Structure formats: structure tokens, C-alpha cells
Amino acid sequence: MLLYILRHAEAEALSPTGLDADRALSEAGTKRMKAVARAIARMEPDFDAVLVSPLLRAKETAEPVTAACRFRGEPRVTEALLPGSDPQHLLDELAASEWKSVLVVGHEPHVGRLVGRLVSGRRDVEVPMKKAALAVFEVSPHLGADRAELRSYLPPRVLERL
């Protein structure tokens, strides 16, 4: 399975409701995600699934990517991508699927712990990701349930130039 891990783009500091879950992308975050989405589309991913956190900024980050990549389905909201979730919940969800290519959109510190776990196989390693950064892993059964091969890590400034 190819696993694309995308951290949400820059969000507003405070939502109109005052709730963290309702924080939308900022104008700069929306603009950046359009450029990042075009770059991801140039990679020609054929996503079988798109999983997003329930928080608004993750959903808004996924929208331009799914449009640019012509994803045919609907993004699936999962609490396994909430900031404080244990990455094991997401890994279990992925292991139970038959997907070959998946995009997940989440938050720090969760995505950093997920990337650290996939790189090292350890629960105590965290590799923080920049906002709107993309990591691509190849998940193979021969590496074990907690390991994967890092194919690329692309910060937003690199993605914007692709």
C-alpha cells in the first residue's frame, strides 16, 4: 500500500465559534493548499481512499487534493486522525482494508508520531511535519505492522515548486 500522509495547512488562530474543531484554513493556508494539491496531482496518485480528521481544517485541506487528483469517492472522516489519537488506531484501520493507495489528512502531534512509528517501528519516536507537508510511505507486510519504507518527504515549499 502507498500511504500518503498530509498535515493540514495553516489555519486561523481562532474560529468564530471559539471551538478548535471549527478552525478553518486561513487565506494563506487555502492558497498554499491549491498549489500543494496541483503538485500531488502531478504524482498521479490513484487513491482508493481518503481519510480525514473530523476537524474542519483537515477537511478543508483534503478538498483541493481530492479535486485535483480526481478522487471519485467521498473522504471518510475518522477519529483515528484526531490530534491526540494513538497512531495504532489508524494503522489497525489501514491493515483491515484492501486499499492500495490511501491519503490521510491529520494534525500534529498525531502525524509526527505516525511518521516516527513508520520510520522506526517504535512508539516513542516522533518526526514532526510542517503544515501542508506530505510524506509518502510504502507499507509492505514483510516490514511488519509498525514499519514502512519512506518514499518521500516533501515540505510545502518544495511541493509548491513541483
Read off the pLDDT of residues 7-52 as tens digits, 9 standing for 90 and up: 999 999 999 999 999 999 999 999 999 999 999 999 999 999 999 9
Query: Whole-prediction pTM value?
Result: 0.95
Measured in whole angstroms, how far is the alpha carbon of residue 80 from the centre of its chain? Answer: 12
Reduce the DSSP state of residue 43 to 3 states and report it.
Answer: coil
Give the Å distances, CA to CA, from 61 to 34, 102, 106, 147.
Answer: 9, 15, 9, 26
Q: Where are the alpha helices (DSSP H) in 97-142?
A: 110-120
